[in-house]
Amino acid sequence: SSRTNSDQWSGRVDHQFGSKNNFYARYSDQSWVTNSFSFPALPNVRSDRNANVVISDTAVFSPTFLITGRFGFSRMNETQVTPPIAGLASSAGTLSAFAAFRGQEVIPPITIPGYPGLSQGISIYGPEFEWNWLGDGQKILGRHSIDFGGGVIRTTFITDNQTGTNVVF
């Protein structure tokens, strides 16, 4: 079984600076926490938090020429924890092969095909940041339309996990 609690909201502002300039900005936020339980697997808690910002401005220079500039920002963060049971890794004998992670004793994932896995660990994905800068324009020349533009995207991602630790029977 599992239980999920979540919240999501957005806010947006639109404004027209005169007859030749349209602007909008939006902020969205989402968070959720899922508690999962299955036997023989240990309880698992996953929490996610995502946010997104968009800003856009369109300037009309003439009836045949306009330019739009946009900026976007996203932040994503995920944490997954199987709360350690004190002494379990010591009594299982896994500490000599798999060191404590983030100061907590954890056992590596143990998988038997056809059954839920057994693991005790911490996974932190993020925060991941993505910045977007985009610009495009349109020029009408007679019966022709010329579209042009470009963009730059920058992404950073931080992760802190137990890596490559797996036991499969």
Q: Do residues 153 and 135 make contact, with C-beta atoms less than 8 angstroms apart?
A: no
DSSP state letter for 102: T
Q: Do residues 27 and 75 touch, judged by C-beta distance below 8 A? A: no
Q: Quick one: DSSP state of residue 20?
A: T
Over its length of 169 residues, how does the chain's per-residue pLDDT go in tens digits? 778 899 999 999 999 999 999 999 999 999 988 887 765 556 778 889 999 999 999 999 999 999 999 999 999 988 877 777 777 777 777 777 777 777 777 777 677 787 766 667 677 777 889 999 999 999 999 999 999 999 999 988 877 765 545 555 4
What six digits make up the tokens of 113? 């095909």
Euclidean distance between CA atoms 82 and 106, whole angstroms: 9
pTM exceeding 0.75: no
Encode pLDDT of 25-50 as tens digits: 999 999 988 887 765 556 778 889 99
Supply the pLDDT for residue 65.
96
